[in-house]
Protein backbone atom coordinates (compact mmCIF):
# COMPACT_ATOMS: atom_id res chain seq x y z
CA UNK A 1 0.00 0.00 0.00
CA UNK A 2 2.80 2.45 0.84
CA UNK A 3 4.43 1.79 -2.50
CA UNK A 4 1.21 2.64 -4.35
CA UNK A 5 0.77 5.89 -2.42
CA UNK A 6 4.40 6.82 -2.97
CA UNK A 7 4.13 6.11 -6.72
CA UNK A 8 0.98 8.24 -6.95
CA UNK A 9 2.62 11.14 -5.07
CA UNK A 10 5.71 10.95 -7.28
CA UNK A 11 3.55 10.89 -10.40
CA UNK A 12 1.64 13.98 -9.26
CA UNK A 13 4.90 15.77 -8.35
CA UNK A 14 6.51 15.02 -11.73
CA UNK A 15 3.37 16.13 -13.57
CA UNK A 16 3.25 19.34 -11.52
CA UNK A 17 6.92 20.01 -12.21
CA UNK A 18 6.45 19.50 -15.95
CA UNK A 19 3.42 21.81 -15.99
CA UNK A 20 5.28 24.37 -13.88
CA UNK A 21 8.24 24.41 -16.25
CA UNK A 22 5.91 24.71 -19.20
CA UNK A 23 4.11 27.61 -17.52
CA UNK A 24 7.45 29.25 -16.69
CA UNK A 25 8.56 29.04 -20.32
CA UNK A 26 5.23 30.48 -21.46
CA UNK A 27 5.55 33.31 -18.94
CA UNK A 28 9.07 34.12 -20.17
CA UNK A 29 7.79 34.19 -23.77
CA UNK A 30 4.97 36.57 -22.75
CA UNK A 31 7.40 38.89 -20.96
CA UNK A 32 9.78 38.69 -23.93
CA UNK A 33 6.98 39.81 -26.28
CA UNK A 34 5.87 42.58 -23.92
CA UNK A 35 9.37 43.98 -23.38
CA UNK A 36 10.15 45.13 -26.90
CA UNK A 37 12.92 47.54 -25.91
CA UNK A 38 16.27 46.97 -27.60
CA UNK A 39 19.81 47.41 -26.34
CA UNK A 40 23.27 47.24 -27.89
CA UNK A 41 26.24 45.30 -26.59
CA UNK A 42 29.72 44.90 -27.95
CA UNK A 43 31.43 41.54 -27.71
CA UNK A 44 35.23 41.50 -27.56
CA UNK A 45 37.45 38.42 -27.76
CA UNK A 46 41.22 38.51 -27.41
CA UNK A 47 43.88 35.85 -26.96
CA UNK A 48 45.54 33.36 -29.27
CA UNK A 49 44.62 30.20 -31.17
CA UNK A 50 40.83 30.78 -31.06
CA UNK A 51 39.10 28.38 -33.47
CA UNK A 52 35.60 29.82 -33.40
CA UNK A 53 33.30 32.28 -31.67
CA UNK A 54 29.59 31.78 -31.13
CA UNK A 55 27.36 34.61 -29.94
CA UNK A 56 23.77 35.75 -29.51
CA UNK A 57 23.24 37.88 -32.59
CA UNK A 58 19.83 39.32 -31.83
CA UNK A 59 17.38 36.96 -33.52
CA UNK A 60 15.12 34.39 -31.96
CA UNK A 61 13.34 34.48 -28.61
CA UNK A 62 14.72 35.08 -25.12
CA UNK A 63 14.69 31.36 -24.27
CA UNK A 64 15.85 30.33 -27.77
CA UNK A 65 18.20 33.00 -29.12
CA UNK A 66 19.62 32.77 -32.61
CA UNK A 67 23.27 31.81 -32.30
CA UNK A 68 25.69 33.15 -34.89
CA UNK A 69 29.17 31.77 -35.45
CA UNK A 70 32.53 32.93 -36.80
CA UNK A 71 35.22 30.39 -37.74
CA UNK A 72 38.94 31.16 -37.43
CA UNK A 73 38.38 34.78 -36.34
CA UNK A 74 41.13 37.35 -36.60
CA UNK A 75 42.01 38.50 -33.08
CA UNK A 76 41.30 40.84 -31.44
CA UNK A 77 37.69 40.32 -32.54
CA UNK A 78 34.88 42.79 -31.88
CA UNK A 79 31.18 42.72 -32.81
CA UNK A 80 28.33 45.06 -31.83
CA UNK A 81 24.84 43.57 -31.88
CA UNK A 82 21.34 44.76 -31.01
CA UNK A 83 19.42 42.49 -28.65
CA UNK A 84 15.79 42.77 -27.60
CA UNK A 85 13.95 42.54 -24.32
CA UNK A 86 15.14 40.06 -21.73
CA UNK A 87 17.47 38.17 -24.10
CA UNK A 88 20.86 37.75 -22.40
CA UNK A 89 24.04 38.82 -24.12
CA UNK A 90 26.41 35.88 -24.65
CA UNK A 91 29.69 35.23 -26.45
CA UNK A 92 31.48 31.86 -26.42
CA UNK A 93 35.00 31.63 -27.88
CA UNK A 94 36.37 28.11 -28.37
CA UNK A 95 40.04 27.17 -28.68
CA UNK A 96 41.67 23.76 -28.97
CA UNK A 97 45.40 23.90 -29.57
CA UNK A 98 48.21 21.49 -28.59
CA UNK A 99 50.47 24.50 -27.94
CA UNK A 100 47.91 25.90 -25.53
CA UNK A 101 45.43 28.66 -25.98
CA UNK A 102 44.48 31.87 -24.26
CA UNK A 103 41.03 33.41 -24.44
CA UNK A 104 39.47 36.50 -22.89
CA UNK A 105 35.94 37.62 -23.64
CA UNK A 106 34.06 40.77 -22.66
CA UNK A 107 30.51 42.02 -22.99
CA UNK A 108 30.26 45.81 -22.97
CA UNK A 109 27.09 47.93 -22.71
CA UNK A 110 27.29 51.75 -22.88
CA UNK A 111 31.00 51.68 -22.04
CA UNK A 112 30.53 49.46 -18.97
CA UNK A 113 31.90 45.91 -18.86
CA UNK A 114 28.95 43.66 -17.93
CA UNK A 115 30.97 40.43 -17.94
CA UNK A 116 34.58 39.39 -18.48
CA UNK A 117 36.14 35.91 -18.38
CA UNK A 118 39.57 34.49 -19.20
CA UNK A 119 40.87 30.96 -19.67
CA UNK A 120 44.12 29.19 -20.61
CA UNK A 121 44.89 25.64 -21.60
CA UNK A 122 44.97 22.94 -24.21
CA UNK A 123 41.20 22.99 -24.72
CA UNK A 124 39.49 26.21 -23.77
CA UNK A 125 35.79 26.91 -24.02
CA UNK A 126 35.54 30.22 -22.25
CA UNK A 127 32.41 32.22 -22.37
CA UNK A 128 30.63 35.28 -21.12
CA UNK A 129 26.94 35.65 -20.45
CA UNK A 130 25.32 38.80 -19.10
CA UNK A 131 21.80 39.54 -17.98
CA UNK A 132 19.85 41.98 -20.14
CA UNK A 133 20.33 45.53 -18.80
CA UNK A 134 16.61 46.08 -19.47
CA UNK A 135 15.75 43.78 -16.56
CA UNK A 136 17.76 45.81 -14.05
Give the residue with greater pLDDT, 91 vs 27.
91
Region 77-100: what's the mean pLDDT? 90
Beta bridge partners of 117: 105
Which pTM value belongs to this model? 0.74
Please tell me the predicted confidence (pLDDT) of residue 21.
42
Please tell me the predicted confidence (pLDDT) of residue 22.
47
**What are the start-end ranges of the E strands in 49-135?**
52-61, 64-71, 77-84, 89-109, 112-124, 128-130
Please tell me the predicted confidence (pLDDT) of residue 39.
95
Please tell me the predicted confidence (pLDDT) of residue 64.
87
* Radius of gyration (C-alpha) of the chain in whole angstroms: 20
At 17, the pLDDT band (50, 70, 90 cuts) reads very low
CATH architecture classification, 38-130: Sandwich (2.60)
Amino acid sequence: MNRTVRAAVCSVAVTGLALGLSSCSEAVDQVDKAVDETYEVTYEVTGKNVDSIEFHGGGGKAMEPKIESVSKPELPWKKTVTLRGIMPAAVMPVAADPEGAQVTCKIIHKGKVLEEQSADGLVTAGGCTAESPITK
